Chains A and B, each alone.
Chain A
Amino acid sequence: MSPKRKLRVLVAKPGLDGHDRGVRVIARGFRDAGYEVVYTGVHQTPEQIASTAIQEDVDLVGLSCLSGAHLFLFSEVVRLLREKSAADITVIGGGIIPEEDIPKLMDAGIKAVFLPGTSLDEIVQWTEANVRPVEESQEPAR
């Protein structure tokens, strides 16, 4: 009998932006929702984030960027995950992102963008509805 399958999440700050209030609040929010949250601090490169996501076999990667470099950084993380055959990991983002950039991010593979003012409940609810932990010992999609 296996215990309830736990969702594993990586919350990460790509790039040089050091504002981590959001990611730290979200990490706690996810923890309180019962998830296991891998937290890697600030100043991560997209390579570090992709590598971490794969080693930790997370279901979800949450990216935060307040420096305006989100178009490149977020899409780069998605690209690297795909390159390493981990396209099934859901990637979401948040931060200071103009509305007109959201469609571009979605096109690049970001599944949702949460702007300032989003409640923790909203993010957790979205996750519950859209991110399922992988099925039993399913081999990773290639």
Chain B
Amino acid sequence: MTAGLVDRILSGDVRSAARLMRGIEDGDREAFDTLEALYPHTGHAYVVGVTGAPGSGKSTLVGALTAVLRRGGMTVGVVAIDPTSPLTGGAILGDRVRMQEHCTDAGVFIRSVATRGWLGGLARAAAGIIHVMDAMGKDVVLVETVGIGQQEVDVTRLSATSIFVLTPDSGDAIQMMKAGILEVADIFVINKSDQEGALRVKADLQSMLNMGGPSSAVRRPPVLLTEAFNGKGVEDLVREIWKHRQTLVSDGGLRKRALERARLELAEAVESSLRDLIDSGLDSAAHERLVEELTERKISPRAAASRVVGQLTRPPQ
């Protein structure tokens, strides 16, 4: 890592930034060192999460949002997350297909990310990539994910405004209640709203949101209709995003979310540091012997753990 690299990224060099993102995804120590140097330059980009079931048109919507934001003079980063195949460890990342009109626009940076099946690692990688786009000077970063599973829910916690996308024919209503999305989303979008049933789903959703519980916020999340394919309703969506931002700014919500995000990042960073500590301090042969003892019931799990921790925290001899 050189100061040159940091400067290049700060001045918007795509190649260097893309390479750094690679290192972040792969968990390279050097990459995270560079990220440390970039960190003071972050915190300006407005992060918007777009979540929804496959087939809801999220990618097309993200592309349409990008178009509107660009027309308004903003630079945009996109993080498009797709699942890794549990069988093969590989992934086909096909979200950016629907945004390719932007790919030669210097004001847009699109990056496809595979979930890679890590426990918690996805949020860390996504946060890092967002930081890089932020440091490059992007005004808005759109993060697109299917939103299923804990790691992807963690990713949505990285955003200031969270959009949930559904379609008129989705049985999403029930699923949403299970996933707790109703509490998390700031804006709901019914995409492909030219299809039959759009208005009914909108009405159903609005009444569910109005039911609320004691923990429901004063602000009722708006429910919008869009046809991302031809851009209908997308300008309104952008307006709602900025309205939400305004609300967050005035009621202190923005700061609260920033704290929340930082809390999450700190937890990830601490965990990761501890993991590094364990890995570096571990005597693998001794560890294996301990595992065997555990199997033979010669020692119990907690006692074994104490022994390992004791080993790691022992003052150097």
Judge A-B direct contact (beta carbons within 8 Å).
yes
User: Which A residues are within 8 Å of any B CB, using their own CB?
Assistant: 1-3, 5-6, 8, 27-28, 30-41, 44-45, 47-48, 51-52, 54-57, 84-86, 134, 136-140
Q: What are 10 inter-chain pairs, A to B, with CB distance below 8 A?
A: A6-B25, A6-B116, A32-B87, A33-B90, A34-B88, A40-B97, A41-B97, A85-B15, A136-B29, A137-B19
Counting chain B residues whose Cβ lies within 8 A of the other chain, the interface size class is 35 or more
Q: In the complex, what distance in Å separates the CA atom of A45 from the CA atom of B100?
A: 10
Please name the 3 residue pairs, one residue from A and one from B, whose CB atoms are nearest each other, closest first. A137-B30, A31-B90, A137-B23
Residue of A nearest to B280 (CB): A1
A41 CA to B95 CA, complexed, in Å: 10
Contacts of A57 in B (CB 8 A): 15, 18-19, 21-22
List the one stretch of B42-50, B107-115, B301-309 in contact with chain A: B107-115
User: Do the beta carbons of A55 and B103 come within 8 Å of each other?
Assistant: yes
- Residues of chain B with a CB closer than 8 A to A36's CB: 84, 90-91, 93, 112, 114
Q: How many Å from the CB of B280 to the closest CB on chain A?
A: 9
B92, A55: Cβ atoms closer than 8 Å:
no
Residues of A within 8 A of B34 (CB): 137
Does B90 lie within 8 Å of A34, measured CB to CB?
A: yes
Q: How far is the CB of A5 from chain B (nearest CB, A)?
A: 6
Contact B26 A2 (CB under 8 A): yes
Given contacts A27-B92, A31-B92, A38-B96, contact A56 B18 (CB under 8 A): yes
A86 to chain B: closest residue by CB: B15
Interchain Cβ contacts within 8 Å, total number: 120
For the complex formed, measure the closest distance between the CB of A2 and the CB atoms of chain B, giving whole angstroms.
Answer: 4
Q: Are B92 and A3 in contact (CB under 8 A)?
A: no
User: What A residues does B30 contact at CB under 8 A?
Assistant: 136-137
Q: Is the CB of A139 within 8 A of B28?
A: no
Mark B6-50 against chain A: 1 for CB-CB distance below 8 A, else 0: 000000001110111111011111110010000000000000000
Q: In the bound complex, what is the Cα–Cα distance between A31 and B116 (angstroms)?
A: 12
Q: Could you list which residues of chain B lie within 8 angstroms of chain A, going by C-beta atoms?
A: 1-2, 5, 14-16, 18-23, 25-31, 34, 84-85, 87-94, 96-97, 100, 103-104, 109-112, 114, 116, 118, 275-276, 279
* Contact of B100 with A37 in the complex, beta carbons under 8 Å: no
Q: How far is the CA of A112 from the CA of B244 in the complex (A)?
A: 52
Q: A31-B85, A31-B88, A47-B104 are in contact. Are A5 and B15 (CB under 8 A)?
A: no
C-alpha spacing A34/B109, complex, angstroms: 25
- Closest Cβ of chain B to A33, distance in Å, is 6
- Shortest CB-to-CB span from A133 to chain B, Å, is 8
Q: B222 → chain A, closest Cβ, in Å?
A: 32
Q: Looking across the interface, which residue of chain A has its beta carbon closest to that of B90?
A: A31
On whether the beta carbons of B103 and A37 are closer than 8 Å, the reply is no
Judging by beta carbons under 8 Å apart, are A8 and B90 in contact? no
Q: Please, how many angstroms separate the alpha-carbon atoms of A54 and B23 in the complex?
A: 14
- The interface centre, meaning the residue of B15, B29, B84 with most chain A CB atoms within 10 A of its CB, is B15
The chain A residue sitting closest to B121, CB to CB, is: A3
Residue from A31, A39, A47, A140 within 8 A of B15 (CB atoms): A140
Residues of B contacting A5 in the complex (Cβ-Cβ under 8 angstroms): 26
Q: Of all chain B residues, which has the CB nearest A142?
A: B15
- Minimal Cβ-Cβ distance residue in B for A44: B100
Query: What residues of chain B lie closer than 8 Å to A138, measured between beta carbons?
Result: 19
Which residues from A are CB-within-8-Å of B91?
Answer: 31, 36-37
Docked CA distance A1–B100 (Å): 35
Closest to B106 in A: A51
Closest A residue to B272 using CB positions: A1
Q: Which residues of B contact A34 (CB under 8 A)?
A: 88-90
Nearest-neighbour CB distance to chain A for B285, whole angstroms, equals 18
Interchain CA distance A54-B112 in the complex, whole Å: 12
Question: How close is A102's CB to chain B, nearest CB, in angstroms?
Answer: 28
Q: Once bound together, how far apart are the Cα atoms of A44 and B111, in whole Å?
A: 17
The answer to whether B14 touches A55, judged by C-beta atoms less than 8 angstroms apart, is yes
* B143 nearest CB across to chain A (Å): 16
Contact check, B15 vs A84: say whether CB atoms are below 8 A apart. yes
Q: How far is the CA of A127 from the CA of B109 in the complex (A)?
A: 27
Report B-chain residues with C-beta under 8 Å of the C-beta of A56: 18, 93, 111-112
With the chains together, A57 CA to B25 CA distance in Å? Answer: 11
Tell me the smallest distance from the CB of B34 to a CB of chain A, in Å: 7
- Is B27 in contact with A2, judged by CB distance below 8 angstroms? yes
